[in-house]
Structure 1
Amino acid sequence: MVTYHERIVADPQVMLGKPVIKGTRITVELVLRKLSQGATTQDITKMYPHITQEDVMAVLLYAADLLANEQMIDTAA
């Protein structure tokens, strides 16, 4: 089972602290944008051959967990 804890890191010295795939400068944001533009996991691993399908899945898990823990603010009040 893929988890993101070993694959996604944030270091202030790399990409201004944005979450990246460990050992790369490929940000979670970049991968999500590529996926939203229609790229497949295979497309992304071809564009960036030093990352794996598991890395891409870790990006998705990271984003899902981030949203699951997001607190909603009621602006209607």
Structure 2
Amino acid sequence: MRLDKEKVRSEKLYSVGFSKELDSYVMSIVVPWTAWYNRYYRITKEEYDFFSTDELDELAERFRQEECSSDRFLKSDKVEENR
């Protein structure tokens, strides 16, 4: 998924940006596994503006824990995880 205005927080393994395709802000979380891949979650403009704050780091951690069961889960690069 291509994200415009992407901001990368490499030490926390996530990035945020705007998806023109979805007309929405998105958080992309790296999942370290045998072959690393990304999961994508819908976020708000306000959350996007919180980049590099504890609040956004906590949201990323919540998404990691919820995995694909989050109500904001959009898709995964690992095909088996997509609904």
Give the TM-score taking structure 2 as reference length.
0.27
Which structure is higher in strand share? 2
User: Which structure: larger Rg?
Assistant: 1
Give the TM-score taking structure 1 as reference length.
0.28
Which structure is higher in helix share? 1
**Which is bigger in relative contact order (C-alpha 8 A, separation at least 6)?**
1
